[in-house]
């Protein structure tokens, strides 16, 4: 990720028994954050070098992301695990994909109603997307987001995935060099999405694992923290144009309550900031006791002209390869500007037709797909959670998304990102790919994201390889006294 204004190390101390709300297991170590900055401003120019002189400065930034940010993913694809052909290959517990429902999806996508070819599907569409698809998206979001009033097709724009949506929105909402606020840790690829095309920076709102009272939770976002980060960026002459919120949050799994959403949207309205809401995991809440609220379910948005909602089938339907994403915005200037960029990011007419057929099949979605998907996600999450408890690894457990945010700080000799990277490479050398905390701009070195949305034989082997690394590392690690934290 881009170099940010933060220190690589901090002093540590034991967390008291007040830790709660899903941070489980033993002895997490907490940096003393009182004197550290609450924000960091990304600066793409810090990663430029004299190499690749045939490229423009923009081209060198693009190449740097490829060379460094995707290292683990490329390594995995060169040595991918296969039960029969490559059983010693790399198990990928780092890429957030749902691999649990291929049987259901392959059946549905192979039905006769999915197979249609007509002239309009082979020709240039309206760049917002075919009207028949935008109508189905509006109905789908109205139903599953529980909007107070029916959503309108004219407010829908269809692109090939949320990566394109982030790029397009950053480009049309910000000037080059402007910035967007984003709470950390966050899905790190967003840095690339907003930077590579639009040359837009991110101002990280640093959250930490400290729990200060009964009503607080680890990595909790508050309006106060947003205000402090915005003021800090402004003091450095950085123009902040908007706020990015991910709900459910990646990698934490947090779900914002309606009250929190209203507070964050109210903050944005006071400062005339756009809000980009990423709700790509909204149907992947698998714990029955957890209630998810889309921003589109709120009675009266504080600033509807500056609120832009993203969703895609990549996560909730395990179809990241189909590249379908959609934007809902009541701001027609934004919708038109994003649609103009769709000539570079559109879907084929055949895929648009398939997506419309899928999204209108509420009977299959509600009675076949979602119940099975939630049950399988919950079972996989339970298995990995129990394995982590046996290993004595603290983690955040939220009941949404495909990931568990685990605390491996006690396995670092020093609280630095260099030590975090060394541990990550030990996992990769032992043929298991995880995602390290710096990739999410986590301010505390030693946190990792583990993906559990995979078949049990791969999860079992992946957890065995994680155990091997940690057992080997723990022989040299500083001692840590066990301490159980409440759920």
What average pLDDT does range 263-285 have in this prediction?
98
Tokens of 118: 């007509």
pLDDT bin (cut points 50, 70, 90) of residue 65 is confident
The answer to the question of residue 13 being in a domain is: no
Beta carbons within 8 Å of 393's beta carbon, 6+ residues apart: 25, 406, 407, 408, 470
Omega into 222 within 30° of 0, i.e. cis? no
The answer to the question of residue 267 being in a domain is: yes
The answer to the question of residue 196 being in a domain is: yes
246: domain range? 126-361
Question: What's the pLDDT score for residue 47?
Answer: 60
pTM listed for this prediction? 0.89
The answer to the question of residue 154 being in a domain is: yes
DSSP per position, 198-212: T--EEEEEE--S---
The answer to the question of residue 354 being in a domain is: yes
Query: Tokens 């006071």 map to which residue?
Result: 270
The answer to the question of residue 21 being in a domain is: no
pLDDT at 386 over 80: yes
What average pLDDT does range 71-95 have in this prediction?
94
Question: What's the pLDDT score for residue 48?
Answer: 61
pLDDT bin (cut points 50, 70, 90) of residue 382 is very high
Work out the percent of the chain whose per-residue pLDDT is above 90: 79
What average pLDDT does range 62-75 have in this prediction?
81
pLDDT at 160 over 50: yes
The answer to the question of residue 312 being in a domain is: yes
CA–CA distance, 232 with 38 (Å, rounded to integer): 8
Question: Contact 399/57 with Cβ under 8 angstroms?
Answer: no
For the domain that residue 332 is a member of, what is the CATH number? 3.40.640.10
Question: What's the pLDDT score for residue 14?
Answer: 29
More confident residue, 62 or 436: 436
Question: What's the pLDDT score for residue 486?
Answer: 32
Query: Which helix (H) or strand (E) segment is 30 a member of?
Result: strand 29-31
The answer to the question of residue 52 being in a domain is: no
pLDDT digits (tens, 9 = 90+) for 404-446: 999 999 999 999 999 999 999 999 999 999 999 999 999 999 9
Q: How many domains does the chain have?
A: 1
β-bridge partners, 92: 433
């Amino acid at each position: 990720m881009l170099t940010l204004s933060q220190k690589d190390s901090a002093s540590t101390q034991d967390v008291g028994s007040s830790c709660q709300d899903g941070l489980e297991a033993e002895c997490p170590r907490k940096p003393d954050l009182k004197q550290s900055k609450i924000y960091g401003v990304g600066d793409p120019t810090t990663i430029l070098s004299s190499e690749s002189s045939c490229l423009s400065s923009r081209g060198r930034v693009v190449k740097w992301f490829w060379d460094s940010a995707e290292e683990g993913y490329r390594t995995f694809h060169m040595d991918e695990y296969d039960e029969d052909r490559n059983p010693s290959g790399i198990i990928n517990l780092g890429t957030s994909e749902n691999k649990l429902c291929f049987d259901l999806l392959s059946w549905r996508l192979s039905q006769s109603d999915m197979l249609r070819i007509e002239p309009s599907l082979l020709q240039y569409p309206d760049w917002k997307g075919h009207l028949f698809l935008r109508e189905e998206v509006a109905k789908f979001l109205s139903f599953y987001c529980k909007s107070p009033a029916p959503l309108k097709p004219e407010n829908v724009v269809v692109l090939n995935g949320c990566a394109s949506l982030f790029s397009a929105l950053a480009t049309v909402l910000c000037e080059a060099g402007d910035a967007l606020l984003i709470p950390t840790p966050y899905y790190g690829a967003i840095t690339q999405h907003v930077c590579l095309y639009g040359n837009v920076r991110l101002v990280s709102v640093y959250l930490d694992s400290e729990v200060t009272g009964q009503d607080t939770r680890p990595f909790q976002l508050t309006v106060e923290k947003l205000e402090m980060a915005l003021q800090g960026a402004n003091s450095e002459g950085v123009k902040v144009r908007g706020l990015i919120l991910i709900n459910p949050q990646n990698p934490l799994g947090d779900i914002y309550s309606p009250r929190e959403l209203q507070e964050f949207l109210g903050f944005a309205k006071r400062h005339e900031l756009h809000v980009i809401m990423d709700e790509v995991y909204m149907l992947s809440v698998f714990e029955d006791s957890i209630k998810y609220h889309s921003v589109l379910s709120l009675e009266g948005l504080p600033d509807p002209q500056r609120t832009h909602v993203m969703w895609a089938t990549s996560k909730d339907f395990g179809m990241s390869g189909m590249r379908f994403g959609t934007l809902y915005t009541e701001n027609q200037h934004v919708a038109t500007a994003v649609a103009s960029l769709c000539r570079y990011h559109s879907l084929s007419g055949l895929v648009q037709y398939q997506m419309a057929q899928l999204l209108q099949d509420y009977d299959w979605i509600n009675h076949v797909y979602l119940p099975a998907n939630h049950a399988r996600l919950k079972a996989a999450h339970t298995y990995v959670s129990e394995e982590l408890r046996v290993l004595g690894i603290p983690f955040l457990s939220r009941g949404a998304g495909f990931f568990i945010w685990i605390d491996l700080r006690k396995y670092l000799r020093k609280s630095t990102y260099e030590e975090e990277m060394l541990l990550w490479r030990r996992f990769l050398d032992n043929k298991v790919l995880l995602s390290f905390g710096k990739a999410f701009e986590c301010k505390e070195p030693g946190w990792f994201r583990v993906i559990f949305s995979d078949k049990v034989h791969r999860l079992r082997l992946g957890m065995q390889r994680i155990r091997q690394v940690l057992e080997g590392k723990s022989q040299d690690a500083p001692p840590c006294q066990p301490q159980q934290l409440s759920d």
